[in-house]
Structure 1
Amino acid sequence: MGNSTDYSRVFKMSFAGVYPHYIAKAEKKGRTREEVHQIIFWLTGYNEQSLQKILEGKTNFEDFFTNAPQINPNASKITGVICGYRVEDIEDKLMQQIRYLDKLIDELAKGKAMEKILRS
């Protein structure tokens, strides 16, 4: 099973399909949808309006990140392990961006302070 095939499956997943899991993961730990949005906006440069379009349009992960207004330059400060992968070592840029988002949501759910999560 080559990596490229695993990745392409992930890339074609609809962002709207995974989004509720981000929200659920945060809310289960007492965090809010607003905080999840703040993380998404910080990482990608999208805003409330453009995010709604993405959710309604069933945009896949590949397009979500490829068309992002701006991947935050501080995203490279996101380090650590998520889903068994060390994010800073992921060579595929797109996969790395997807894992960045997973990692930030994970930190939110673990109760990390927002300014720490947003690497300010």
Structure 2
Amino acid sequence: MAKHNIYTTSFAKVYPMYVAKAEKKGRTKEEVDEIIRWLTGHTQEELEAELEKETDFETFFAQAPHLNPLRSLIKGVVCGIRVENVEEPIMKEIRYLDKLVDELAKGKAMEKILRK
């Protein structure tokens, strides 16, 4: 079976869309970055390096320093998909990120987004 196109898409190509979605609702790029760092274990410098290298989504998540174990607490629907039911590991990580950015844009408190 062929891989989904998102796997080979540069994370740097989609990142501005995450930021725009958040900013449109009064949130910040810094909050988007905090979510990504929480999810992947990247430092800000590592995140910026990945964006500069235009790393694809599959590599971005497969080589993440430390995927947060609390990410399994992320539940709900994003893009019509229930994230907890996604079976393919990389797609699940992508949907987790989509859901977190969605929660940010919907005005959820950062403590709740980061499952504190």
1:71-108 CA-to-partner distances (Å, cap 9, x unmatched) read 10000000000111100000001100000000000000
* Residue identity matched to 1:19: Y
Matched residue, 1:15: 11
* Residues in 2 aligned to 1:88 and 1:68: alpha-carbon distance in whole angstroms: 20
Matched residue, 2:28: 32
Of residues 35, 54, 72 in structure 1, which corresponds to 2:50?
Answer: 54
Task: Tell me by how many angstroms 1:8 deviates.
Answer: 2.8
Of residues 95, 98, 103 in structure 2, which corresponds to 1:99?
Answer: 95
Identity among equivalent pairs (%) = 59
* Residues in 2 aligned to 1:8 and 1:60: alpha-carbon distance in whole angstroms: 12
Q: 2:14 aligns to what SS in structure 1?
A: helix
* Residues in 2 aligned to 1:68 and 1:77: alpha-carbon distance in whole angstroms: 19
* Residue identity matched to 2:50: I
* Residues in 1 aligned to 2:61 and 2:13: alpha-carbon distance in whole angstroms: 15
Moved over 3 A (4+): none
Query: How many residues matched?
Result: 116
* Residues in 2 aligned to 1:87 and 1:78: alpha-carbon distance in whole angstroms: 8
1:26-59 CA-to-partner distances (Å, cap 9, x unmatched) read 0000000110010000000001111111111010
Aligned-residue Cα RMSD (Å) equals 0.8
TM-score between the two structures when normalised by the length of structure 1: 0.94
Unaligned runs of at least 5 residues, structure 2: none
